[in-house]
A and B are shown apart, each in its own frame.
Chain A
Amino acid sequence: MSVSFLISQAKGVQKVIDENSAEIEVLDQKIGDGDHIFNIQRGLKLVVELEDSIKDLPLAKALNMIAMKVLSGIGGSSGALFGTFFMTMAKSPDLDKDVDFNKACEMIISGIKAMKERGKANVGEKTMMDVLIPVSEKLNELKNEREFKSGLNEVIKIAEERMLSTKDMLATKGRASFLGERAKGHIDPGARSSQLIIDTICKSVINN
């Protein structure tokens, strides 16, 4: 993981999220208030625009700037959760040394753990954590493998399955929780956007 990797991933994710924005907006209007897609798009735009100011910075500093940008620029639950994610990654030890696959996995795992604590949500509650927690568990299994590309295909699969599994869940966290039974039958918009992010990044790593 490097600053240029972060920037190129942000651009790739931005493209995919934009392509799927209408779907996410509709999902959120079914069980939320429809702002999730705008928050994600605004956040990605801000991060992509950071390119010139972070491209020559050390990784920890760049991650911190991304964290503050996401935190102050997005708002809502997404801002706090993704801000927490990047802030925690920035605090990882030895970021001045080479960040290999193993190290990158550990950073992502610690970031997702911090999101889980911030949002106090676990799997089965119809949120983005339904995708992120199983992904983090899989990365923990994979992180020491030298041949990790086939493993990343499994991560893609897990993210998709878990995203789809939110459809039949009752929501017990977040704004959809106020709906009771009426939340059933709709995929959680945060789970969908998180799955798209993971899908995009994994595919990009596999293909390079």
Chain B
Amino acid sequence: MKKFINNNDDFLKESLTGFGKAHSDIINVNLDPSFVSRKNKTKDGKVSLISGGGSGHEPMHGGFVGHGMLDAACPGFVFSAPTPDQMQAAAEHVDSGAGVLFIVKNYSGDIMNFQMGAEMYSGKNDSIVTNDDVAVEDSTFTTGRRGVAATVLVEKIVGSLAEHGGSLEECKKLGEKVNKNAGTMGVAFTSCTVPAAGKPTFDIGDDEMEFGVGIHGEPGRKREKIQPSKTIAGNILEAILDNLKPEKNEKNLLFVNGMGGTPLTELYLVYEDACQILQSKGVQVTKSLVGNYCTSLEMQGASITLLKCDDEILKHWDSPVHTAAMRWGM
């Protein structure tokens, strides 16, 4: 393992402290319990959005704390859900009285810990669970689909509504709509290495890819021989379109997300492939996002997310945002 690391026990604390210093104009970092919050206090009457999850997905979620997006983020250990005391402390710190909406990715650990955090927090609160990964069959008998890259879109879009004075109920409703309108699927070329483990999470051949991979290096559904980018993008989009079934005249946001170890040049190439494929199928792409937003440590690979957009979603996508990792319009 080659990593920038001093010792395992301090890995997260040192990284968070650096993050806090690097973006001290936007956020504060609290340790014990760990949470990232906005530098400025939540204004009265604004619903607070709090997300969180295991570390290792940076910039998600700490990089999305700031105007127009999250009020706080709770980072767990690498790939482990954060703990209820973090959620409770973050909620108490940011809630201005209008209530707290927890945004949770659909992983058992996250669900249980956020649930306990919500039970321990005495103020008004509600939760939404993202589950955009179409690689996993959705069934009432299973944990269901994973929450992956579309969580970024949910946080941006609901963050804007909260900034515009949306109520807790309205924020929850919009978040659920965005989640329902989004589909994601990812592919990995290499594994990632959890610092505490010191070795790659899975073995994969030089000529192989993991199709339908999650964001923790947990295996996907299929191991395949590597294909040209166009074929990979085509297979991913086929699964997404099957699931979302966008209408011909519907507007869509296309999001190509890097897993951490793939250069932007390749991500833009994937974006181009995806645009061409969608155009050939008569699917309209009106908004775009390309970059490393929901990563899996140093994993090489990418995910594609398609989000069906109505006017409300488009308005809140375009509105100003000022966070460490996403910034436009101000």
Within 8 A of A (CB), among B197-252: 197, 201-202, 214, 216-221
- Given contact pairs A173-B143, A175-B216, A180-B137, A29 touches B85 in the complex (Cβ within 8 A): no
Interface check B278, CB cutoff 8 A: no
Interface check B80, CB cutoff 8 A: yes
B197/A76 in contact, CB under 8 A? no
Residues of B within 8 A of A152 (CB): none
A33/B201 in contact, CB under 8 A? yes
Interface flags, B52-92, vs A, CB<8A=1, else 0: 00100000000000000000000011111111111000000
Residues of B within 8 A of A72 (CB): 33, 83-86
- Given contact pairs A32-B218, A35-B80, A174 touches B194 in the complex (Cβ within 8 A): no
Residues of B within 8 A of A68 (CB): 85
Interface flags, A27-54, vs B, CB<8A=1, else 0: 0010011110011000000000000000
Total contacts A-B at CB 8 Å: 113
Q: Report how far A78 CA is from B79 CA in the complex, Å.
A: 13
- Range, interface on chain B: 35 or more
B113/A75 in contact, CB under 8 A? yes
Q: Report how far A182 CA is from B214 CA in the complex, Å.
A: 14
Q: Which residue of A lies closest to B214 (CB)?
A: A178
Interface check A65, CB cutoff 8 A: no
B219/A35 in contact, CB under 8 A? no
Residues of B within 8 A of A76 (CB): 54, 76-77, 80-81, 109, 113
Residues of B within 8 A of A134 (CB): none
Interface flags, A72-83, vs B, CB<8A=1, else 0: 111111111101
Within 8 A of B (CB), among A107-139: 118-119
Q: Report how far A179 CA is from B86 CA in the complex, Å.
A: 30
- Given contact pairs A32-B218, A75-B76, A178-B143, A80 touches B81 in the complex (Cβ within 8 A): yes
A33/B194 in contact, CB under 8 A? yes
B112/A118 in contact, CB under 8 A? yes
Which of A38, A73, A75, A119 sits near B108, CB closer than 8 Å? A119
> What secondary structure prevails in chain B residues at the interface with A?
loop
> What secondary structure prevails in chain A residues at the interface with B?
helix
Interface check A177, CB cutoff 8 A: yes
- Range, interface on chain A: 20 to 34
Q: Report how far A143 CA is from B84 CA in the complex, Å.
A: 33
Q: Report how far A126 CA is from B80 CA in the complex, Å.
A: 19
Residues of A within 8 A of B35 (CB): none
Q: Which residue of A lies closest to B77 (CB)?
A: A75
Residues of B within 8 A of A2 (CB): none
Interface check A172, CB cutoff 8 A: yes
Residues of A within 8 A of B112 (CB): 77, 80-81, 118-119
B194/A34 in contact, CB under 8 A? yes
A38/B83 in contact, CB under 8 A? no
B196/A35 in contact, CB under 8 A? yes
Residues of B within 8 A of A38 (CB): 196-197
Interface check B255, CB cutoff 8 A: no
Q: List 19 A-B contacts (CB under 8 A).
A: A33-B194, A33-B216, A33-B217, A35-B79, A75-B76, A75-B81, A75-B83, A76-B54, A76-B109, A79-B109, A79-B113, A80-B81, A80-B84, A119-B108, A173-B143, A175-B108, A178-B218, A178-B220, A180-B221
Closest 9 CB pairs of A and B: A80-B112, A76-B80, A75-B80, A77-B109, A76-B109, A33-B216, A72-B85, A177-B143, A75-B76
Given contacts A71-B116, A79-B81, A173-B142, 17 further A-B contacts (CB under 8 A): A29-B201, A34-B197, A71-B85, A75-B54, A75-B109, A76-B109, A77-B112, A79-B83, A80-B112, A80-B116, A81-B112, A172-B143, A174-B108, A178-B136, A178-B220, A179-B218, A179-B221
